Structure 1
Amino acid sequence: MKSIPAPLLFLAHVTVMRGDRVALHDINLEIACGEHVCILGPNGCGKSTLIKTITRECYPLAREGSHISILGRERWDIFELRSLLGIVSPDLLASCTTEATGRDVVLSGFFSSTRIFPHHHPDPKRLLLAEETLARLGIAHLAHRAVAEMSSGEAKRTLIARALVHKPQTLLFDEPSNALDIGAQLQLRKTMRELAKSGLGILLVTHHVSEIIPEIERVILLREGRILADGPKSSVITEEQLSNLFGVAVRLGRRDGYFHLY
């Protein structure tokens, strides 16, 4: 009899403070490994705090009945955890040294940094894996190009390559379309779809409904640190739910599996 795999993420009655403000209030959430999920909400709703709680940059209040585990474990070495959760975020992109090359950025994932320093010595296996990952995403030509010379879209795809070198179980995309032009946004969505179809779990955190790729079937709505709705995309992404979420009347359109607000 096969054992049931531990969920990717399990939160029970989790409350997180940021300063003197409650950023997440009594959150109950479970996400399975390999699941494609979107957490959708306006700016300031607690999305960033939730990500930082998952990556152990923020910690919940210690209360009776409160519990958080990732892949069935409550205690993690932070560097090991971040290698299993491939993270693509604006904060990570901003921390990349502009002189670092595409290959440096990808290799830095092995050292939990954002570039290669003199004391880092990637072995031939890691060098080959970095090259293969860049090629997989169609950006082998960026291996020796400095981040400062890349477009926003190229830099974002380099970060995805960095996230992939560890062969993570799930990729976490935090507001992935920020600062991308239309062409780069379309390329990003194509890449996300290909990764989802390859079997990787996708956790998308965004305030843009248009970023939700067709492969995502579950959507969680977050507002003011509370979960408003959690369920199948077809029942959560509605004009009524989204108007309530964003505090303004919206109209909803859908084409080719994507949603649009107007």
Structure 2
Amino acid sequence: MAAPAPPLLSLEHVTVLRGAREQRPALDDITLRIAAGEHVCILGPNGCGKSTLIKTITRECYPLAREGSSISILGRERWDIFELRSKLGIVSPDLLASCTTDATGRDVVLSGFFSSTRIFPYHHPDPENLERANEALARLGIAHLAERAVAEMSSGEAKRTLIARALVHEPQTLLFDEPGNALDIAAQLQLRDSMRELARSGLGILLVTHHVSEIIPEMERVVLLREGRVIADGPKSSVLTAEHVSNLFGVAVRLGQEDGFFHLY
């Protein structure tokens, strides 16, 4: 019998500061475990520590060293950053902002093999890399963007190119950091469809967002994060209530649901 896969994430009493000069924590004594293959949403207002959590997973941020505090990613406490990022597909605003406007769609996707956001002269993609990049573009329905510069893409096209980049090295889990930001309605719907297809394909998905409308039906679990602390964690049906969401955002809301999607009003 095969051994169970190690969890994507295991945090025990982890604190991460907002910056080297700041003493305010972005994550405050947080304990959280996310299993491999889970579909989980981290929901919270701006500034609650959601993006810091993603950066802690990808080792862009490091927690304070304290007695009783521990962190492991995919079952390991120590990682070569490039090896770790080859096992995680990342879609974030920071990545999009770092893409040079003259890079083509294929360049951006190929850059996933090198943990960059463009192809530099010292990068040498091989034929297998090229084949897998073309397959990732086709999977997202954007093969026509292979030769198009990022500067000429819509925000939705650029976001789907980043998803193709995230898929190119066949990761175990996809990390989505506020993926719907700056997207128009049509692009938001396309994004949701892409996320649903990827979830149904068996990939683990961790979504961080402040929009309940981005939580796809395939998400089984929701974690509410406020001021760097987990205030609720459990099945979507029990966590996504008007009472919990009103408490999370500090404003009275009503919560509706249709076809597995939630909305506030």
> TM-score scaled by structure 2?
0.98
Matches within 5 A, 1:215-234: 215-234=218-237
Give the equivalent residue in structure 2 for 1:2.
Answer: 2
Matches within 5 A, 1:74-113: 74-113=77-116
Aligned mates of 2:86, 2:156 — CA distance in 1: 23
Aligned mates of 2:26, 2:156 — CA distance in 1: 31
CA shift digits 1:110-139 (9 cap, x unpaired): 111111111111001101111111011110
Aligned mates of 1:227, 1:192 — CA distance in 2: 24
- Is the aligned partner of 1:240 residue 2:243? yes
Give the equivalent residue in structure 1 for 2:178.
Answer: 175
CA shift digits 1:61-120 (9 cap, x unpaired): 111110000111000111111121100001100000000000000000111111111111
Matches within 5 A, 1:43-192: 43-192=46-195
Give the equivalent residue in structure 2 for 1:12.
Answer: 12
Q: Which amino acid aligns with 1:15?
A: T
Q: Which amino acid aligns with 1:191?
A: S
Aligned mates of 1:9, 1:20 — CA distance in 2: 25
Runs of 4+ off more than 3 Å: none
Aligned mates of 1:142, 1:116 — CA distance in 2: 16
Deviation at 1:4, TM superposition (A): 2.4
- The count of residues paired between Structure 1 and Structure 2 equals 262
| Equivalent residue in structure 2 for 1:200, among 192, 198, 203 | 203
Aligned mates of 1:169, 1:214 — CA distance in 2: 20
CA shift digits 1:10-37 (9 cap, x unpaired): 0001011122211111111110111000
CA shift digits 1:182-239 (9 cap, x unpaired): 0000000000000000000010000000000000010000000100000000000000
Percent of aligned pairs sharing the same letter: 84
Unaligned ranges ≥5, structure 2: none
Q: Which amino acid aligns with 2:154?
A: S
Q: Which amino acid aligns with 2:260?
A: G
Question: Residue 10 of structure 1: SS of its match in structure 2?
Answer: strand
> TM-score scaled by structure 1?
0.99
Q: Which moved more, 1:158-167 or 1:45-54?
A: 45-54
Give the equivalent residue in structure 2 for 1:213.
Answer: 216
Aligned mates of 1:150, 1:208 — CA distance in 2: 24
CA shift digits 1:31-52 (9 cap, x unpaired): 0111000000000111111111
Aligned mates of 2:112, 2:213 — CA distance in 1: 29
Deviation at 1:2, TM superposition (A): 3.2
- Give the RMSD, CA atoms, in angstroms: 0.7
